[in-house]
């Protein structure tokens, strides 16, 4: 393995969010990623994968996932029982200093179950407090004792034992998770409703199984080298993993589906950073390259304390698709971490650049057309206090936010034309909301109450009161609306709805397989059934009237064909970004009912669409990726204009006649002029409801509204 990567892994506090100057000097950058899904298209130097094993739909959920990081965590030597690079969603770790001396500065890193991390620093002196490297988070404790971490973003508390292992999480509303563990091996997790997941281990310490509240079991298998090789639910395989890297035997090189067929592949550079990924069914690879800190000298050198240069915390990441179409993202920050500050094109979103203030928080974001959104902050709490959208345009739109004194919750939102006051109970639950229309001085109020479990017990607004009931596990089992109509529900051990009874007596029932997939829906005795293929994808859906549709998939597990029992069928061709570039639908007589071809441009938008053989439409877009023109096969072009808030303001037809839309500061349409120049105006309240409309021929007409409109 490359020496620099070894140094990186030892120095790394956490190679995503918090990063030190030396890590940037070593040429591996600490980037923010979206953790919500598996990384099939690379966005940075680390291979980061999240796979969900079981979803808990009850309150205070106990969802189980497993997470892979090719760079490892902040404490690579910590063994939670899943093999190199892997953790599960209930393993939390506070990495203590390897050597602590009261007269010297020190640092502590915290890895949370969602794979996010926090870095704390301590100045010399036994009594010196721990300070978050960025943000208002708190850390209480001392070496040799237990620790408490406060996460300011959601007002939660995280407790760690003297060895740095997570033992408890308490949420803002008082709900908690108690985590029983033995030297880092989690044995059970129990929530505030008494529901529990249990963890079992093999004789060699590897995690063997997780017992779920619904009676099902997730099991884990390993290869001869101790690497995680497969995951099963009740004996049904869901994922497989392979490790065949020439760089390092422990690097993940392939993910397979429930049948063992490879879905994703990974190749690494000599230093262990991700080079490219591949997807089954897609020709070519998705490559990723990095640049930054170019003038810092020999790679791997450590910089003397006190010397600091903003260029050390800049990086660029370029992702290139199999067709050669690439996009570059730019990152900037400090020793506390870096953030996305710009990109080369609007492939992913319309942020061209982001300017940071002295606190390394966004001062403004500029899109590809020069429209700016400006921000003001409470820097100590890192909370936005004012946002001005299109701040450099005449249609600028301002929102001011006041915050709770101690909780990260807004209490007053002030916009042009309306104010919204919010109040909270002791657990942070919303108990009151009052929206005031400044023009009419009318206030619309609503209120919430809560039961002893911290769940909403009732909601009251102008329409009346709605009451909620729950079972002992916190699942909603009864709703009584303002008219006295009662809806009733029953749930299984995973919080999924089993039955739903309407006030009319009509009952809906639902069934699921061990993997949690819906298999049957019955409405008044009329049944719809769903079956699944070995690769976990929907195979056939059969409706109560007998109509059945069967689906087929390509190697990337994307629908590419379907057929029904009436002789109709469809087939699709998909590109590297999963866009349908070709569609062919045939009827029961095998005659073409719809044929469509599409071309995709460099920012992943449709550039042309042809229906049948000759009905073509060409589309162009502005720099932000918003539709600008549409031209038909005769060359007739319709043009669309948007304002600095990206609202549609004008449509010009092929004859150069225009229709326009005007808006108020709350984004409600106040005037619409048609292609003949006739204007209809609308009087709006602060909720956006049209109270009256006026036209040249009919005059002004009030529009009826209900109290709860």
Domain ranges of the chain: 283-345
Instruction: Kindly give, in sequence order, each residue whose CB lies less than 8 Å from that of residue 335, ignoring residues fewer than 6 positions away.
Output: 19, 20, 21, 133, 308, 313
**CA 123 – CA 145 distance, rounded (Å):** 19
Residue-level pLDDT at 132 = 87
Query: Rounded mean pLDDT of the chain?
Result: 86
Region for residue 324 given its phi and psi (left: phi exceeds 0; alpha: psi -120 to 50; beta: otherwise): left
Instruction: Report long-range pairs for 682-691 (Cβ below 8 Å, ≥24 apart).
Output: 685/437, 685/439, 685/440, 685/442, 686/417, 686/418, 686/435, 686/436, 686/437, 686/438, 686/439, 686/442, 687/435, 687/437, 687/444
Closest residue by Cα to residue 147 from 89, 108, 183, 175: 108
Q: At 292, is the pLDDT very low, low, confident or very high (cuts 50, 70, 90)?
A: low
**CA 108 – CA 59 distance, rounded (Å):** 32
pLDDT reading at 33 higher than 60: no
Cβ atoms of residues 360 and 375 within 8 Å = no
Predicted TM-score (pTM) of this structure: 0.86
Q: At 307, is the pLDDT very low, low, confident or very high (cuts 50, 70, 90)?
A: very low
Q: At 122, is the pLDDT very low, low, confident or very high (cuts 50, 70, 90)?
A: confident
Residue-level pLDDT at 112 = 87
pLDDT in tens, 343-394: 887 776 667 888 888 888 889 999 999 999 999 999 999 999 999 999 999 9
Report, as an integer, the average pLDDT of 523-547. Answer: 95
Of 188 and 342, the one with more pLDDT: 188
pLDDT reading at 136 higher than 50: yes
Least confident of 156-160, 326-330, 349-353, 382-386: 349-353
Residue-level pLDDT at 111 = 87
Q: At 119, is the pLDDT very low, low, confident or very high (cuts 50, 70, 90)?
A: confident
Report, as an integer, the average pLDDT of 286-311. Answer: 49
């Amino acid at each position: 393995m490359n020496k620099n990567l070894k140094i990186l892994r030892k120095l790394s506090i956490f190679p995503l969010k918090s990063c030190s100057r030396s890590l940037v000097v070593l040429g591996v950058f600490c980037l923010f990623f979206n953790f919500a899904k598996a990384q099939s298209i690379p966005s940075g130097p680390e291979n980061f994968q999240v796979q969900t094993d079981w979803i808990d739909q009850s309150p205070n959920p106990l969802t189980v996932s497993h997470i892979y990081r090719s760079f490892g965590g902040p404490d690579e030597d910590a063994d939670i029982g899943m093999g190199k690079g892997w953790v599960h969603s209930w393993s939390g770790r506070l990495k203590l200093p390897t050597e602590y001396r009261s007269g010297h500065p020190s640092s502590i890193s915290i890895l949370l179950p969602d794979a996010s991390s926090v870095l704390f620093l301590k100045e010399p002196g036994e009594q010196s407090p721990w300070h978050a490297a960025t943000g208002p988070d708190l850390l209480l404790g001392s070496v040799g004792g237990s620790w408490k971490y406060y996460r300011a973003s959601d007002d939660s508390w995280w407790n760690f034992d003297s060895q740095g292992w997570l033992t408890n999480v308490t949420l803002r509303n008082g709900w908690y998770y108690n985590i029983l563990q033995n030297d880092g091996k989690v044995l059970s997790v129990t929530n505030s409703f008494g529901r529990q997941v249990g963890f079992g281990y093999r004789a060699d310490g590897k995690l063997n199984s997780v017992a779920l509240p619904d009676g099902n079991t997730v099991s884990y298998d390993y290869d001869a080298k101790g690497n995680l090789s497969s995951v099963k639910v009740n004996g049904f395989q869901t994922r497989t993993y392979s490790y065949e890297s020439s760089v390092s035997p422990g690097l993940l090189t392939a993910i397979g589906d429930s049948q063992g067929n490879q879905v994703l592949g990974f190749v690494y550079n000599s230093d262990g950073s991700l080079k490219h990924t591949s997807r089954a069914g897609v020709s070519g690879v998705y490559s990723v390259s990095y640049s930054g800190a170019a003038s810092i000298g020999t790679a791997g050198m450590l910089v003397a304390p006190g010397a600091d240069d903003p260029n050390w915390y800049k990086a660029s990441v370029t992702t290139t698709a199999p067709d050669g179409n690439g996009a570059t993202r730019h990152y900037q920050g400090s020793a506390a971490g870096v953030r996305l500050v710009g990109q080369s094109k609007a492939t992913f979103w319309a942020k061209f650049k982001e300017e940071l203030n002295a606190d390394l928080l966004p001062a403004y974001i500029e899109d590809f057309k020069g429209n700016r959104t400006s921000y003001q902050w409470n820097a100590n709490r890192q909370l936005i206090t004012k946002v001005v959208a299109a701040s450099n345009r005449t249609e600028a739109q301002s929102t001011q936010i006041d915050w709770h004194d101690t909780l990260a919750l807004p209490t007053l939102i002030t916009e042009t034309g309306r104010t919204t006051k919010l109040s909270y109970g002791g657990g942070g639950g919303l108990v009151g909301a009052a929206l005031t229309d400044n023009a009419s001085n009318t206030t619309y109020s609503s209120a919430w109450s809560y039961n002893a479990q911290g769940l909403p017990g009732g909601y009251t607004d102008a329409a009346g009161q709605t009451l909620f009931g729950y079972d002992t596990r916190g699942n909603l089992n009864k709703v009584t609306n303002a008219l006295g109509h009662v809806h009733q529900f029953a749930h299984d051990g995973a919080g999924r709805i089993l039955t739903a009874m309407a006030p009319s007596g009509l009952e809906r029932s639902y069934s699921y397989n061990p993997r949690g997939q819906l298999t049957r829906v019955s409405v008044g005795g009329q049944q719809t059934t769903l079956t699944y293929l070995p690769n976990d994808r929907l195979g056939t859906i059969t409706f109560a009237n007998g109509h059945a549709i069967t689906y087929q998939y390509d190697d990337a597990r994307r629908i590419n064909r379907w057929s029904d029992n009436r002789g109709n069928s469809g087939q699709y061709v998909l590109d590297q970004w999963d866009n349908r570039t070709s569609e062919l639908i045939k009827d029961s007589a095998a005659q073409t009912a719809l044929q469509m071809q599409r071309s995709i441009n460099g920012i992943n938008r449709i550039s042309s669409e042809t229906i049948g053989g000759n009905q073509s439409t060409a589309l162009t877009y502005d720099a932000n990726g918003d539709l600008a023109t549409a031209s038909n096969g005769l060359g007739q072009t319709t043009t669309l204009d948007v304002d600095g808030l990206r609202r549609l303001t004008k449509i010009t037809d092929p004859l150069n006649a225009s229709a326009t839309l005007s808006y108020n500061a709350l984004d409600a349409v106040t005037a619409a002029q048609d292609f003949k120049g006739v204007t209809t105006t609308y009087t709006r309240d602060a909720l956006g409801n049209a109270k009256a409309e006026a036209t040249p021929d009919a005059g002004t007409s009030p529009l009826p509204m209900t109290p709860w409109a």
